[in-house]
A = this chain, B = another copy of it.
Amino acid sequence: MDIRLRIEQALEAAVSAGETQEAPPGLAAAIRYAVFPAGHRIRPRILLGVAAACGDDAPEVSDAAAAAIELLHCASLAHDDLPAFDGASTRRGKPSLHRAYGEPLAVLTGDALIVMAFETLARGAGGRPERLGPLVAAVGRAVGTPGGICAGQAWEGEAKVDLSAYQRAKTGALFAGAAAAGAIAAGRVGEPWMAFGNGLGEAYQVADDICDLIADPEVIGKPVGQDQAHARPNAARELGLEGAKKRLATLMRRAVESIPDCPGRDGLCAMVMAEGGKILPKGAVRHAA
């Protein structure tokens, strides 16, 4: 089955499990709004790519893990967009969650999505209980503290920032978690895959920095210039546009080189290189040199 279809079906199954008669209607609607329609779904695509390269012998586990990783990403967007953080008014081309549903439901939606992610893992791994512990550990490490995305966001409020810990936690951790979870879902050890995920995360961060500097907000569906507005580091501002593009290419090549030995190594390399060509969204660049 097509990877994008698998991801959307797994997300649909996870979200609709929470849409019983018992659910408060506003929260149910806000959760659906936060998850659909699809963004890039880049993290679950990496996860399923790694699972496929490792044999993907239990697709019900890898589907659940892919959904969990994306639910957690959606949770982080719901909370990062809150007025207490970026106060972003748009996301994925529509009003941000707190603009559409108010601040209380934006907080609760993020919370509910985090819980839903772990419930989804447990449901998916029902037939492979020995994989659940390592999955929860890999996913938890990617999103919590000390080194996950909660920690990454918290670094932005520190007076003295450990820049490498900040960047690793803010972006790299969830990519590393996606790669590790893909391997674990397919019955492999997750650790050796973290360097690959981290590398992709670094590359994605540079691409995101380029977009934040020069993209058309209408095309990418969210405000630009946020790094400067919030005094955050930005590779494209530091290296210049051409320097940042070169850095992006180097990081993509290094990520590919770090792919561990596995049955589907060649296929995964090809997929990553193809994705690399699309990492800067078409038409996103407003006045590229």
A residues with CB within 8 A of B: 18-20, 22-28, 31, 75, 79, 82, 84-85, 102-105, 107-108, 110-112, 114-116, 118-119, 121-123, 125-126, 129-130, 132-133, 136-137, 140-141, 143-148, 150-151, 153-158, 162, 165, 169
Q: Would you give the shortest CB distance from A14 to chain B, in whole angstroms?
A: 11
Q: Which residue of chain B is the closest to A102 with respect to CB atoms?
A: B157
**5 A-B pairs (CB sep. < 8 Å):** A24-B146, A25-B158, A112-B148, A114-B114, A118-B136
**Which residues from B are CB-within-8-Å of A23?**
145-147, 151
**Measured CA separation A136–B112 after assembly (Å):** 14
- Tell whether A146 pairs with B82 under 8 Å between CB atoms, given A118-B118, A136-B136: no
Q: What copy number does this chain have within its complex? A: 2
- Tell whether A165 pairs with B125 under 8 Å between CB atoms, given A28-B146, A115-B144, A148-B115: no
Known: A104-B156, A112-B151, A114-B114; 19 extra A-B contacts, CB below 8 A, are A18-B144, A20-B146, A23-B146, A24-B151, A24-B155, A79-B111, A84-B104, A107-B107, A110-B111, A112-B150, A115-B143, A115-B145, A115-B148, A119-B140, A121-B136, A122-B133, A129-B133, A132-B132, A132-B133
Q: Are B114 and A157 in contact (CB under 8 A)?
A: no
- A119 partner, pick from B79, B108, B144, beta carbons under 8 A: B144
**Measured CA separation A82–B98 after assembly (Å):** 15
Nearest 8 A/B pairs, CB to CB: A115-B144, A23-B146, A27-B154, A119-B140, A122-B136, A24-B154, A84-B103, A112-B150
